[in-house]
Amino acid sequence: MNTELIVASLSGVVALVSAAYSSQANRNNSLLKDDLERQKAERSRTLERQDVMSRFRDPLLWAAFDLQSRLFNITSQGFLRVYFVQPHDQRYAVRSTLHVLAEYLAWVEILRRRIYFFDLGNQRIGKVLNDDGYADRNFQLSRSNQRAIGELVIKDGKDAECCMGYAEFCSHLESDSEFASWFAPLSDSITELASLQGRHPRLVDLQVALMDLIDFLDPQQERFPQKHRFRLNHY
């Protein structure tokens, strides 16, 4: 084999090795770039979730606290029996109970729209509301109706979506028959609960699940100290 052929053969081998190395390096660079972009996107999503929670944590926290407080008062303090003595008080008891439930569902829906997978314990609360395994259907609300009621009381605020206030909510109940029809079964449930004795297992489970959510949202007890955190039981 002459010198020229040897040189040509070696040059070919070097070119092939160089091409293979370059191709592998390009693939590695491409994989590294994709991995960095995925990490960047994940960091962006994490920061977005944190930003959303920082803006909406307190409204959800207060809504959860107001709802659990009403459930606690109904179940252990005889709230409905006391307020169902006079027609005016009865109307307040029904409407205010409907509003605190609707307000909680509205803030859950607002957060759900911004964070596709949202579960801080709210899934458990939704399951208790939806569950048909309790002895009665009082305060039962399907998952679709939970979302629908949340949607109904959401309104556009100055900087972001917010929840309809109590006065506006009552006005809609009086003037909008379609709006009111969504709340009619719950209204009937509240009226029936006023005449029933016992601990109302669904309401007890709801109150406990809401307290668990409050513990998660306010672990340092900055908004609600321990002295305000009572849990119902079935006994």
Beta carbons of 79 and 93 less than 8 angstroms apart: yes
Q: What is the pTM of this model?
A: 0.76
Rounded to whole angstroms, what are the CA distances from 151 to 35, 64, 67, 110?
38, 17, 18, 8
pLDDT, averaged per 10 consecutive residues of the chain (235 residues), comes to 63 66 74 68 50 72 96 94 92 97 95 69 87 92 96 81 93 97 96 87 95 93 89 82
Which residues in 132-149 are b (16+ Cβ under 10 Å) and which e? eeeeeebbbbeeebbbeb
> For residues 158 and 56, what is the distance between their CA atoms, to the nearest angstrom?
15
Chain position carrying tokens 């005449």: 195
> For residues 42 and 203, what is the distance between their CA atoms, to the nearest angstrom?
38
State the pLDDT at residue 55.
67
Half-sphere exposure of 39 (CA within 13 A, CB side): 6
State the pLDDT at residue 50.
47
